[in-house]
């Protein structure tokens, strides 16, 4: 089943310590381009996120957002440097002696407020434990976006299969008319010569047949029709198959269909077929635009 490249997914994990939310957004892109945004504290999780997403979503411009809300906890702890505190206390006592001040005026707040005595530091993170929790939210988000991409892919497949039917119908009309081109050309040539010479008796039938044969050889589009038929069958196989990542293959296939269509139009030299070619090219262009959204 084909998948669209566009989609959105959200996953959450919650316990008594934290709430983890992961959101994944994806839009069209020729290759896999993954951007991860996370709080600085959890930067260590970014490569893990990127690898997990890349394993599941093979094409698209993908944005992954990690948000963590902590409950009643802090990521800071306070460390006391006793040696520095003692040095400040010694210095204050020495200063108090010199100034004949009472020692009891040296307070704890005076010492604690000095640089280097008390320092707030970031607590170490248990990375393995956090990644285990985060994975639960991540897998939920990936399942969510894949479900959305699959549903959109089913709608795309239905539309493209309809357009494949339209293209095949046009191809069948061309295939039916192609054998008549030699006869049509010969009648036009006969009418033109009669108009110029004024009498059909002056027309060389052998020369007329030769000219018609030369035209028929140049205008032969059998091979192009066979290849176009094969491309239509391959397109259906992609759309009805179980392979998930066919976008690039389909893009190449549409280029080949367009090439065969151009050749048929240039070789046939027939107004009826040319008109059908315009319709055919319009349908192929619509398919090409849709294919750009397939993973």
For 220-250, the pLDDT digits (tens) are 888 899 999 999 999 999 998 877 678 889 9
pLDDT at residue number 245:
75
For the ranges 7-21, 44-58, 105-119, 177-191, the lowest mean pLDDT is seen at 177-191
- Grade residue 31 by pLDDT with cuts at 50, 70 and 90: confident
Residue 14 has a CB neighbour count (10 Å cut-off) of 14
Is 23 a residue whose pLDDT tops 90?
yes
For the ranges 95-99, 139-143, 199-203, the lowest mean pLDDT is seen at 199-203
d(CA 102, CA 265): 107
d(CA 34, CA 60): 8
pLDDT at residue number 60:
93
What residues have CB less than 8 Å from 279, skipping those under 6 apart? 170
3-state secondary structure of 270: coil
pLDDT at residue number 101:
81
Q: How far is CA 257 from the centre of its chain?
A: 23
> For the chain, what's the residue count?
295
Is 287 a residue whose pLDDT tops 90?
yes
Is 132 a residue whose pLDDT tops 70?
yes
pLDDT at residue number 189:
66
Q: What is the mean pLDDT of the chain?
A: 87
Six-digit token pair at 62? 């993908």
Quote the pTM value.
0.70
Is 92 a residue whose pLDDT tops 90?
no
pLDDT mean over 12-27: 96
Strand partners, 73: none
């Amino acid at each position: 089943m084909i998948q669209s490249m566009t989609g959105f997914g959200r996953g959450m994990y919650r316990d008594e310590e934290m709430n983890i939310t992961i959101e994944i957004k994806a839009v069209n892109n020729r290759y896999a381009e993954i951007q991860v945004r996370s709080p600085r504290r959890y930067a260590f999780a970014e490569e893990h996120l990127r690898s997990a997403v890349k394993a599941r979503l093979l094409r698209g411009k993908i944005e992954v957002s990690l948000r963590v809300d902590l409950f009643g906890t802090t990521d800071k702890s306070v460390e006391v440097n006793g040696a520095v505190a003692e040095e400040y206390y010694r210095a204050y006592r020495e200063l108090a002696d010199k100034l004949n001040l009472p020692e009891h005026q040296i307070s704890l707040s005076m010492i604690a407020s000095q640089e280097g005595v008390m320092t707030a530091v970031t607590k170490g993170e248990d990375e393995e434990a956090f990644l285990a929790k985060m994975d639960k939210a991540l897998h939920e988000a990936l399942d969510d976006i894949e479900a959305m991409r699959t549903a959109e892919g089913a709608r795309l497949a239905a539309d493209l299969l309809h357009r494949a039917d339209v293209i095949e119908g046009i191809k069948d009309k061309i295939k039916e008319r192609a054998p008549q081109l030699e006869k049509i050309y010969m009648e036009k040539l006969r009418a033109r010569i009669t108009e110029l010479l004024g009498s059909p008796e002056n027309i060389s039938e052998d020369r007329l047949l030769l000219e018609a044969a030369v035209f028929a050889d140049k205008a032969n589009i059998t091979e192009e029709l066979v290849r176009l038929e094969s491309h239509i069958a391959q397109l259906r196989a992609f759309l009805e198959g179980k392979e998930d990542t066919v976008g690039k293959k389909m893009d190449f296939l549409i280029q080949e269909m367009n090439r065969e269509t151009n050749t048929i139009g240039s070789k046939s030299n027939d107004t009826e077929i040319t008109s059908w070619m315009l319709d055919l090219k319009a349908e192929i262009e619509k398919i090409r635009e849709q294919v750009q959204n397939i993973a």
